[in-house]
Structure 1
Amino acid sequence: MSSQLAAFRVPVIDNEPMRAYAAGSSDRAGLEAAVKKMISQAPFEIPCIVDGKPVKTGDIQSQPMPHDHANNLCTYHAATPEIVKNAIESSLRAKSQWEEMPWADRAAIFLKAADLIAGKYRFEIMAATMLGQGKNAWQAEIDAAAELVDFFRFSVKYVEELYAQQPPRNSAGTWNRTEFRPLEGFVLAVTPFNFTAIGGNLVGAPVIVGNVCVWKPSPMATYSNFLIHKILLEAGLPPSVIQFVPGNPPEIVQQCIDHPKFAGLHFTGSTQVFRSLWKKIANNLDVYKGYPRVVGETGGKNFHLYHPSADIQSGVVQAIRSAFEYSGQKCSALSRVYVPRSMWENGFRDQLKSQVDSITIGPCTAFNHFTGPVIGRPAFDKISGIITKAKEAGGEVLAGGTWDDSKGFFIQPTVIVTKDPKSVTMTEEIFGPVMTVYVYEDAEYEQTCELIDTTTDYALTGAIFGVDRAALQRAAHLLRNSAGNFYINDKCTGAVVGQQPFGGARASGTNDKSGSISIFYRFISARSIKENFVAPTEFHYPSNLLE
């Protein structure tokens, strides 16, 4: 192992400041220029990256732009089984050198990558997220710029704290130490389309503690994820530590989890897919040397509960933001709304309808739109089909309920009012701009808490609103297991790295809390070391002596 000549301390870490992109600002001009440049150069041709080198397979897949689906942001070469095999073997060859690199040098790579994203590549990676994943400027800023930078910087901070955790006691003549080893084998990262930052974190978290990683990006986020990989290499990451293998998800994932040296899965995606992968991994236990770590963040059916004492105006604004930002394509997005009848009939209904009716939808190239497209044809068909199903079941469409796919995949932000608290839009994850309201009787507040807790198997995010402290306390207790991220008088979206560690339980995932130190425990295997300095002279116990 390379020499460690000092106990280094990382710089002070804080959240990346958000930029506003106001009209006439230099940031707006810079971002607009990056978007225009990217459109003029698209479609980009993206290879697999094995050992840091481009590999073209000839099996060309495409990533269309959701706001303009006739045009592609990029095409990419889908990995073949031979490419995946080479990627795994190459990562394993790099494993020893990477885990033995001094911590300060690994930390420096991620700190430099964060600075590259915050500065040199900020507008480019935002443009890729806007054009490829359908985000507007603000949503791209909080994701591809601020949150991704935060993940890399706070990862360094948390791993420094992790390594500093050592046994507090030493008996006379001994020294106790703990090593935090990476896992034996490689980690597979399966990343989603909806957050560029999640792509970076799902590979970054295992890698920063010394693991090597095979990265299977979402087909709908290929280009932005490719840019992250490029930035990490520019920051000094050894080329074989992360292998970039876009392509057919089931085939690539199956090949990886069938490998004897598969050591862990870091996954964000659907509950159904995650459960299927867990079963396949379990069926392969005789293949592996140890027990692979399985870490996943999956779906949600997130709620807002309003107590009669809640403020109507704030409640409406919070609901709109959490349901319709990024067209509801967030694991944390609001889907279920429980409003007391007194609030509903005295302003909540009318304000909600009026404000939702005023929302404009459109392409990311027009900065004035609050909501953009959904990600692609399968999502568009699913969401529009669920809205149709809700109408047929007697749900009242208070606002929205229309869609248009002639140029992009646009679905109008939709509010459905139901009399059935277990109707289809109250129970099924939609992952789109659909909010369903159930009006409960004021006297049934606690019964409504029970209803929220038992209606779905998910437990990702939820929020309660009110002034009555006793009512807030009671709901917080009754809903203790209903959400891994719980908010009081704040919307159920918008967790910030280092402030609100993110993750849910039940069908929503393993609740390992990305954005905190907790996630790193899942990708290390600790070794306790005891060193003795005083040689024993006899084997007898003191109690064996007669005198």
Structure 2
Amino acid sequence: MTTTFHPALGEAARSFLSRQHHLLIDGRMVESDSGRRTDILDPATGELIATAAEASASDVDRAVDAARRAFTGPWSKTTPAERTRIMLRFASLIEANGDELAELECINSGKPLPFCRNGDVAGIAEMLRYMAGWTTKMGGETPNVSLPGEWHAYTLREPIGVVGQIIPWNFPLNMAMWKIAPALATGCTIVLKPSEQTPLTALRLGELALEAGVPAGVLNIVTGFGNPTGAAIAAHPGVDKVAFTGSGETGRRILLAAAGNLKRVSLELGGKSPVIVFPDANLEAAAAGVCSSIFFHAGQICAAGSRLYVHERAYDQVLEAVARRAKSIKLGHGMEVGTEMGPVISRRQLDRVTGYIHSGQEEGATLYAGGGTAGERGFFVQPTVLTGVKPGMAVHDEEIFGPVLCAMSFSDDADLERISATANTTTYGLAASIWTKDLGIAHKMARRLQAGIVNVNALSSPDAALPYGGYKQSGWGRERGFDAIKLYTEVKAVAINLNT
């Protein structure tokens, strides 16, 4: 296959795509032991844009060894203030190369370019700066102990060691930095595996990290498939912790693999998030929020608001506004001006999403908007709304990871307990959204919903200081905020007997 680039792509991004992309191990780009390569496609066209190395288990061994040497060597000798300065330089380099990073993210993941620039690139620079602020503030405590005699007791918060990080294809830049930034701040070293479908921006981040002064071996990047590359990271005895974002199925396999050395595990998994609209809400704002939550990035968001519950007095108005907006969304290549929604990531994902739409109709749901594919090339699914959805249907219970909204209503007979119980009828518990002007209802519902993130009159809250993670089968642990620092540290208690 011949590589094909969108004509609007800038020279810097074209130059990067034209390279042979290798593994980043111990500060150098190296070929994989296998010599095999993976085709990287533009999901908006289905055409080849680059190839990347496929790492083997032996490559993971090399990366872990490099990370261990860096952890016990130069990285362990840096002061917190030095780590801060390196991370701030890294953030500045990201901004200086923001156009290139945004274009690479756009052409590889399919998201519209403006969001890649103003959302992803700006967001990861902010995440680095936020986490850089924690390096000098991770002190321990001096507990008052009740042991006989005189004691001096204190705690230390120390880096956990070598961490393996495995990230998905939907937000390659964000998911990478949500894991890299707290690991760097705490003094850990990293073996990062991006998705085999979207490795490009992770590799570019690796180059910028070296330019910023991150020592060789601190950030290693191994590209390849879940098996063998991800599996080798999860099972490796030299990895002290694994952080994973992706599917529940893969998360369970990671847990089993991590049992070998009882490594620490954090998981950010799926979601089937409810959006609950009360009749007093600003209904146009709610409809806009519903559309943004489920149709942005073609619904390929773990926290997407895929289950809509609207009071029956407002149901028709909200549904009509949602359908109107859904039908007006401009689908297209992310590099094209005016594009509001891009493709799903692959042919396989397109088939998965359309399969759910068809199964929903077969189980009794009604197609209210969309439902088909679009365009003569690429992997585009129309923004879709299903009504008549009930618990037990696959479209209601399972994560579709596509632009498919399941709409339902509730009546005056349903009190807050019943509404929240219905919203909680899922194995997931990642996010939820409440739309109402009544702060009493908002606070009461927020307490009742089993979700790690609850937004009121908002579709999301992408702030670096707010913890992100879920209840139930949406994962273990929290990213962002100080909770992310906790994921990458161990607490050591020290007690000194002053009586001898």
Same fold (TM over 0.5): yes
Question: Is 1:414 aligned to 2:381, yes or no?
Answer: no
Question: Is 1:335 aligned to 2:306, yes or no?
Answer: yes
Change (3 A) 1:201 1:488: closer
Q: What CA deviation, in whole Å up to 9, does each residue of 1:238-270 have, x standing for no partner? A: 111121110122212322333322210011111
2:59 aligns with 83
Q: In structure 1, which of residues 255, 269, 276 is the aligned counterpart of residue 246 of structure 2?
A: 269
RMSD of aligned alpha carbons: 2.3
Change (3 A) 1:101 1:477: closer
Matches of 1:521 and 1:355, distance apart in 2: 41
Change (3 A) 1:517 1:40: closer
3-state DSSP class of the match of 1:79? Answer: coil
1:528 aligns with 493
Q: How does 1:362-401 map to 2 (within 5 A)?
A: 362-401=332-371
1:323 aligns with 294
- Structure 1 counterpart of 2:205, which letter? I
For residue 431 of structure 1, report the CA deviation from its aligned partner: 0.8
For residue 388 of structure 1, report the CA deviation from its aligned partner: 1.2
For residue 127 of structure 1, report the CA deviation from its aligned partner: 0.7
Q: How does 1:29-68 map to 2 (within 5 A)?
A: 35=10, 38-39=13-14, 42-57=17-32, 58-68=35-45
* Bigger mean CA offset, 374-383 vs 142-151: 142-151
For residue 117 of structure 1, report the CA deviation from its aligned partner: 0.9
Change (3 A) 1:115 1:487: same
Q: In structure 1, which of residues 451, 465, 485 is the aligned counterpart of residue 435 of structure 2?
A: 465
For residue 75 of structure 1, report the CA deviation from its aligned partner: 0.6
Matches of 2:236 and 2:289, distance apart in 1: 46
2:80 aligns with 103
Asked whether the 8 Å contact 2:240–2:263 carries over to 1, the reply is yes
1:488 aligns with 456
Change (3 A) 1:535 1:41: closer
Q: What CA deviation, in whole Å up to 9, does each residue of 1:449-472 have, x standing for no partner? A: 211112x11000001112234433
3-state DSSP class of the match of 1:443? Answer: coil
1:497 aligns with 464
Matches of 1:124 and 1:32, distance apart in 2: 14
Change (3 A) 1:357 1:47: same
Question: Is 1:514 aligned to 2:479, yes or no?
Answer: yes
Change (3 A) 1:228 1:143: farther
Identical aligned residues as a percent: 25
1:233 aligns with 210
For residue 220 of structure 1, report the CA deviation from its aligned partner: 2.0
3-state DSSP class of the match of 1:394? Answer: coil
* Bigger mean CA offset, 457-466 vs 437-446: 437-446
Asked whether the 8 Å contact 2:429–2:472 carries over to 1, the reply is yes
Gaps of 5+ in 1: 1-30, 537-547
* Bigger mean CA offset, 264-273 vs 40-49: 40-49
Q: What CA deviation, in whole Å up to 9, does each residue of 1:86-136 have, x standing for no partner? A: 112222122212123211112211111011112x21111111110111111
Q: What CA deviation, in whole Å up to 9, does each residue of 1:124-165 have, x standing for no partner? A: 1111110111111232134431211121111112332223x4
Question: Is 1:152 aligned to 2:128, yes or no?
Answer: yes
1:11 aligns with none
Change (3 A) 1:216 1:42: closer
Q: In structure 1, which of residues 436, 446, 449 is the aligned counterpart of residue 406 of structure 2?
A: 436
* Bigger mean CA offset, 236-245 vs 405-414: 405-414
Q: What CA deviation, in whole Å up to 9, does each residue of 1:440-496 have, x standing for no partner? A: 223224323211112x110000011122344334323322xx2100011222x3422
- Structure 2 counterpart of 1:483, which letter? A
* Bigger mean CA offset, 407-416 vs 250-259: 250-259
Asked whether the 8 Å contact 1:206–1:520 carries over to 2, the reply is yes
Asked whether the 8 Å contact 2:39–2:48 carries over to 1, the reply is no
Change (3 A) 1:501 1:301: same
Change (3 A) 1:470 1:174: closer
1:303 aligns with 274
Matches of 2:159 and 2:181, distance apart in 1: 13
For residue 177 of structure 1, report the CA deviation from its aligned partner: 4.2
Matches of 2:65 and 2:80, distance apart in 1: 24
- Structure 2 counterpart of 1:329, which letter? Q
3-state DSSP class of the match of 1:517? Answer: helix
Q: How does 1:355-366 map to 2 (within 5 A)?
A: 355-366=325-336
3-state DSSP class of the match of 1:425? Answer: helix
Matches of 1:243 and 1:467, distance apart in 2: 48
For residue 37 of structure 1, report the CA deviation from its aligned partner: 5.2
Asked whether the 8 Å contact 2:12–2:100 carries over to 1, the reply is no
What TM-score comes out, normalization by structure 1 length? 0.84
* Bigger mean CA offset, 360-369 vs 204-213: 204-213
3-state DSSP class of the match of 2:458? Answer: coil
2:255 aligns with 278
Question: Is 1:259 aligned to 2:236, yes or no?
Answer: yes
Change (3 A) 1:180 1:408: same
Asked whether the 8 Å contact 1:43–1:75 carries over to 2, the reply is no
Which entry has the higher C-alpha Rg, 1 or 2? 1
For residue 207 of structure 1, report the CA deviation from its aligned partner: 3.2
Matches of 2:482 and 2:438, distance apart in 1: 34
Matches of 1:308 and 1:515, distance apart in 2: 33
For residue 53 of structure 1, report the CA deviation from its aligned partner: 1.4
Gaps of 5+ in 2: 1-5
Change (3 A) 1:181 1:478: closer
3-state DSSP class of the match of 2:310? Answer: strand
Q: What CA deviation, in whole Å up to 9, does each residue of 1:31-64 have, x standing for no partner? A: 9975465347644321011111121232011110
3-state DSSP class of the match of 1:502? Answer: coil
- Structure 2 counterpart of 1:348, which letter? V
Asked whether the 8 Å contact 1:495–1:501 carries over to 2, the reply is no
Asked whether the 8 Å contact 2:469–2:475 carries over to 1, the reply is yes
